[in-house]
Amino acid sequence: YLVGPVTVLALSKQAEGSNGQPLERLDELVESYIQVLAALADAGVAWVQLAEPATVADLAVADDAQIAAHLEAAYTKILAAENRPQVYLTTPYGSARAGLDALAKVAPEALHVDLSVGTQALDADYVNRVKNTVDTAKTQLVAGLVDGRNVWAGNLRALRETFEQFDGASVSTSVSLQHVPHTVEAEPNLPVDVAAWFSFANEKIGEVVALAAGPLDAAEAYARADRAVRTRAESTRTHNQQVADRTAALPKGQVQREPAFTERQEAQKALGLPALPTTTIGSFPQTSDIRKARADHRAGNLTDEQYVEELRKEVASVIELQERLGLDVLVHGEPERNDMVQYFAELLDGFVVTENGWVQSYGSRCTRPPIVVGDVSRPKAMTVEWAKYAQSLSDKHVKGMLTGPVTILAWSFVRDDVHQSVSADQIGVALADEVKDLEEAGIEIIQIDEPALRELLPLREEDRPSYLDWAVRSFRLVSLDAAPTTQIHTHLCYSEFGQIIDAVAGLDADVTSIEAARSRMELLQDIDEKFHSEIGPGIYDIHSPRIPSVAEMAELIRAALKHVPLERLWVNPDCGLKTRGYEETEQSLRNMVLARDEVAANLKVSVNA
């Protein structure tokens, strides 16, 4: 298995100081691929899979026609090589357009297309285009009908009808099964009725086999799938009329918090914050003691009262550390949260969570995505007691911390029976109730994290406006009724946000913190008059254990001030500190405050509240 050469270059960046664009080096890279394929053939490899997901996206570096031309040029050479394995080309994560024509023309031994339910929902004509484009006399067509990115049991009869439209095709999953958990059999604590609705990696292999065999030879599998489809549609877990009525009563179209930002900014002067206020993004290091306490509590070795006491000790320690370092706006450190999404999923109706449903998140990090099984609601307050306790320990403001609707959905397995915007609205109003309760508890600064806003951006240009519209709406629902004096923060990371800067501005948060240290404030070049909020571009990279110096962070603050007025600039790290150790965290935050103080002194502005 290799990522194909066109995708490698389309998703690459040119080294600083180099001329040209990565795709201009395609001929050079193709020669390397030919050498690798020859070595694989000499080692006895019969087939090599080459993945070209660049075929299914609208990319800034090249349009669809240009990507198709690159594909044709690259694979004409690769397939002409005499010493190579047979080539199995895949086009995962969506529907190919001009790229499909190019790959059909060069005719690899096998060509895989993503025909999952999600892909067909976005491109209703894709099945017909594949039938009319791929010559199955020259290329073995592989229909990726079993959805490899979600966990729902497939409607085998409907999928089989689609499969039978192709003459002589093979069947497979739509993408690699790395995106779903291993097996439902490892989940004894799932509700019995719900477990039958799911299909994880092992079960999806069974669906592939059943689709190939047909309903006569795989009658039991088809009957099982029929039951899953029927019982899920009929279940009260899926449909909650009270939630449906509440969201139906919401205003249609975009919603807007009142009053406008400038008036809110004036009202929020009562918060008494200094110039260049310092804060962190939310989480503090999750120590081995905290993780052990959580494991002991789950195993029954710590009572609820003992576990809460351990967490309260950690919150008190985090507050004391921040006050000692001189930060202006504090956080409670989130020791009670196993994960920024799973924590909320366990407290919201409409979700289930797994015990062993681990999937790779990024690098070597793994997560257990919750599953949205039905209409979402909040049975009771989720964060208020922790926020109240933390605020009671300090005279400084302590932020309330929430994960936003889009990120909760992005890092969960979502429903496939309703549009994601429906679930987003439901989560939005549930979190709005939490905002109200936090305000009533005396919390005056509330952060709503949306690090996944860019991550869910559709691959095709024409699908992006509608996504951004409902994504922005769901965030605005959370803060819609917040008091003008309540300062709403949001945080975005993991991505380059220049492409969606209008949507980021459209969230209408009072303060937006964004990952910016590694790009040396490059993102701020996209900030213009449309971006009205206060902004906290991260000034040190929390993904590295390296402790940045005072001088380095002061330089980044000065770089940010070239784009952001002093009265709108915050000073903070790139992201949460959950994965860092306390020694490096303390020194880095100390340097951050000292850097702010140095810049403020040079500007002759006060940093006293």
> What span, in angstroms and rounded, lies between the C-alpha atoms of 249 and 574?
38
Collapsing DSSP to helix, strand or coil, 9 comes out as helix
- Structure confidence at residue 306 (pLDDT): 95
Q: What tokens appear for 517 in the block?
A: 């240290």
Residue 176 sits at the vertex; the CA angle it makes with 172 and 179, to the nearest 5 degrees, is: 125
Return residue ranges of the chain for CATH 3.20.20.210. 2-234, 260-287+324-603
Chain-centre distance for alpha carbon 462: 20
- Using pLDDT thresholds of 50, 70 and 90, give the confidence band for residue 530: low
The H or E element that residue 359 is part of is strand 359-362
pLDDT at 526 over 70: no
Q: Which long-range contacts (CB under 8 A, 24 or more apart) does 183-188 make?
A: 186/355, 186/356, 186/357, 187/354, 187/355, 187/356, 187/357, 188/355
- Spatial neighbors of 476 by CB under 8 A, at least 6 apart, are 254, 255, 256, 257, 428, 507, 508
- How many residues does this entry show for the chain? 609
Cα–Cα–Cα angle for 211, 213, 217, rounded to 5 degrees: 120
Class of domain 260-287+324-603: alpha beta
Check: CB of residue 408 under 8 Å from CB of residue 339. no
pLDDT at res. 398:
98
Q: Give domain 2-234's CATH architecture.
A: Alpha-Beta Barrel (3.20)
Cα 283–Cα 286–Cα 287 angle in degrees, nearest 5: 150
Residues paired with 402 in a beta bridge: 448
pLDDT in tens, 99-153: 999 999 999 999 999 999 999 999 999 999 999 999 999 999 999 999 999 999 9
Q: Rounded CA gap, 397 and 92, in Å?
A: 47
What are the strands, taking DSSP E only, across 204-303? none
* Band of pLDDT at residue 494, cut at 50, 70 and 90: low
Nearest to 523 by CA among 492, 568, 545: 492
Contacts with 599 (C-beta within 8 Å, 6 or more apart), sequence order: 276, 554, 557, 558, 561
What does the pLDDT look like over 374-403, one tens digit per residue?
999 999 999 999 999 999 999 999 999 999
State how far the Cα of 39 lies from the Cα of 83, in Å rounded to an integer. Answer: 9
Q: Decide: pTM greater than 0.85.
A: yes
Residues tagged active-site:
543
